Amino acid sequence: MIRVGDSTEDLSTISIKLVVAKDGSGDYQTVQEAIDAVPANNTEPVKIFLKNGVYKEVVKVPANKPFISLIGENPEKTILTYDNYAKKPRPEGGTYGTGGSATVYLYASDFVAKNLTMENSFDESLVEGGSQAVAVYTRSDRMTFHNVRFIGNQDTLYANGGTQYFSQCYIEGDVDFIFGGARAVFEDCDIVSVDRGSTTNNGYITAASTNINEPYGFLFVNSRLTSEAADGTVYLGRPWHPGRDPSAVASVVFKNCELGAHIHQDGWTDMSGFSAKDARFFEYQNEGPGVNLSRPQLSDDEAKQFTVENVLKGWNPK
């Protein structure tokens, strides 16, 4: 086994593989230790293999460490978890806030995650009115997630900027649980809305804040929207305007997806005084009991523009 710190010269010739194991059988016992061992401004891929285990830690991949891959042994048994939440007091004063509550922070380009779970385990029933609690925060380009499970409740996945590709992923939450201003594609994914027990409103899948100058935001294609929530009680999304920014005009498209009966017949709804009708919300050739063709639909010609490459600025991760 080769450690990154053993020979920086090896970085130019091979893809280094580090092993993280809770039981001490690998190179490191925490995920962050392995990431910290990667030299800044590395130019070659570094693969970090995570053995099965529950890693309770806040993980950060800084912007100056691109080309890192986190590869789990099993998506249901390799778990990165923490339980910070927006309303939680910080030791130095104030609260963590939504952006400060994440379990995993990903700032580096060309990042890859496979075969693991990223979770925020905060129990929202412990705080009156609940609280935002982010599992993963992403803000960089050409980030790939394959067979990854994202687990949380409110604000599970904060795709705040850059370009990301999610394939065969499982994303679970209830309120605004896929949100932010990134350009992102979700292909062949399971989008699971947690049942909050309401007979009228069990949450919102997306809360995009796409900048008006960006032609694309979130694209869901060939994915499945499921829930045990009551029929017609979950919205596809609502428009998020951070700080009431008028230039944040959400762009979300569901294309060739299976929509369960939990999807509200209106599909989209307003947020904080901003109308869903002013956002860029569309569907195309979806199927299932949650479909309502009276909602905004793309034409055939318009739908042809919503490809993986176009959304991801010409990058094709496949």
pLDDT tens figures, 142-159? 999 999 999 999 999 999
Q: Are 256 and 286 in contact (CB under 8 A)?
A: yes
Bridge partners (DSSP) of residue 60 are 105
> Distance between CA atoms of 194 and 111, rounded to whole angstroms?
28
Residue 265 burial (CB count, 10 A): 11
How high is the pLDDT of residue 6? 42
Residue 199 one-letter amino acid: T
Strands 104-106 and 157-167 turn out to be unpaired
Is the Cβ–Cβ distance between 281 and 237 less than 8 Å? yes
Q: Model pTM?
A: 0.94
Domains annotated on the chain, with CATH: 51-311 (2.160.20.10)
**CA atoms lying within 13 Å on the CB side of residue 114:** 8
Active site residues: 176
| Total Cβ atoms within 10 A of residue 25 | 10
Q: What is the pLDDT of residue 190?
A: 98
Q: Which residues of the chain fall short of a pLDDT of 50?
A: 1-14
CB 255 within 8 A of CB 298: yes
User: C-alpha angle 195/201/205, rounded to 5°?
Assistant: 70
What distance in Å separates the CA atoms of residue 309 and residue 209, rounded to the nearest whole number? 20
pLDDT digits (tens, 9 = 90+) for 10-27: 444 447 799 999 999 999
Taking only the tens place, the pLDDT of each residue in 22-80 is 999 999 999 999 999 999 999 999 999 999 999 999 999 999 999 999 999 999 999 99
Q: What is the pLDDT of residue 8?
A: 40
- pLDDT in the model for residue 118: 98
Report yes or no: 127 and 96 within 8 Å, Cβ to Cβ: no
* 155: Cβ contacts below 8 Å, ≥ 6 apart: 86, 98, 101, 132, 133, 134, 173, 175, 176, 177, 179
